[in-house]
Copies of this chain bind each other. A is one copy, B any other.
Amino acid sequence: MELQEVKFEGWPHVLKAQQFDSGWIKNILFPLAIRMEGLYGHRLCGALLLDKEMISLFCGESTRTRASFEIAMHRLGGKVIVSSPNARLSSAMGKGEHFYDTCLALIEYGGDVLIIRNDGNEELGKLAVLSSIPIINAADNAEKDKQHPTQALLDLYTIQRRLGRIDGISVAMIGDLRNGRTVRSLSYLLAKFKGIRIFFVSPLQLQIGADIKEYLTRHGVEFSEHLDVREVAPHADVFYQTRTQKNLGTEDWDRADEAHGLTIIDKRVLDLAKLDSIIMHPLPCVGEIVREEVDPDPRAIYIESKNGKPSQVKCGLFIRMALLLIVISPEVCCSLLRTD
């Protein structure tokens, strides 16, 4: 394993799903994440990032993702030297300060990695050019191509851990596909693999963006669009459910959805679904899964680990530990992978 192989396009910044290719994902990221799973159980990973420093700047709302990054850092022996749970509320951004200025000041203070959740419309790319510290995008709201790349990487890892493969799978992406950033990032990543089939299930008004469809076509991914999840349920290996925002100009459809469960996952969908399929959700979940019917099903893996395999939430922790190692200490990654 050479140092160069550990690094990805745009290294050390993690900004968009497009940066990663399937070779790096299969040969570097996944083996490291598996390694983290093993070390995690034995709590033997506590010295890998000893005395390294994380700055965590979350402008928008988040507890789960912020916790995931910060716990990953602690588990590797690192320190979280600044944690801003809701910087939009608690920082000078309330006084009109430009988001970049807050970030630039934090970069001046130094540290080994900067985690940014940005709920403004700015691109992080401009900031990365100026930054001497690796920046990891913990979800942005950029006007043109909003993304959540670490979520997509952990989604992919969850699929790999559960289904044992990514090439050749069929994925139903469901919900508000126009506004969701996780489906965008995951679509980009899936396009790097072979034989992928995507079913986009959403109201007409909330369909996936034309740019994503164009990207998938260009990369030879087969996809189709649907209104009712039950149409595609028998054919999907993965159900990737996302939050629908009620009454986002979709009143008529919302009523139909509520009445007929067009995009809701419930027992009827489970009955149609393959026995070896999986139900995923990036969370928060606010009604689009009928929890009391779906949670107990072994296919529901969004929060709870089942059958000795990690849940999607837990996979997030392992992927983020692996990513932190890669951007902060690529040499350590090399030697970890070499001794595998």
Our pick among B62, B105, B314 for the contact of A64 (Cβ within 8 Å) is B105
Q: Interface with B: A86-94, A164-172, A220-228, which one?
A: A86-94
Closest to A104 in B: B303
How far, in angstroms, from A304 to B303 measured CA to CA in the complex? 43
User: Does A284 lie within 8 Å of B74, measured CB to CB?
Assistant: no
Say how far A88's CB is from chain B's closest CB, in angstroms: 9
How far, in angstroms, from A96 to B46 measured CA to CA in the complex? 35
Our pick among B71, B87, B104, B314 for the contact of A82 (Cβ within 8 Å) is B71
**Chain B positions within 8 Å of A111 at CB level:** 71
Closest to A106 in B: B67
Closest to A66 in B: B82
How far, in angstroms, from A82 to B94 measured CA to CA in the complex? 23
Per assembly, the copies of the chain total: 3
Assess whether A299 is interfacial by the CB under 8 Å rule.
Answer: no
Interface residues of A in 141-175 (CB under 8 A from B): none
**Chain B positions within 8 Å of A40 at CB level:** 110
Q: Interface with B: A26-34, A49-57, A178-186, A200-208, which one?
A: A49-57
Interface residues of A in 66-116 (CB under 8 A from B): 66-68, 70-71, 74, 79, 81-87, 89-98, 101-102, 104-106, 108-111
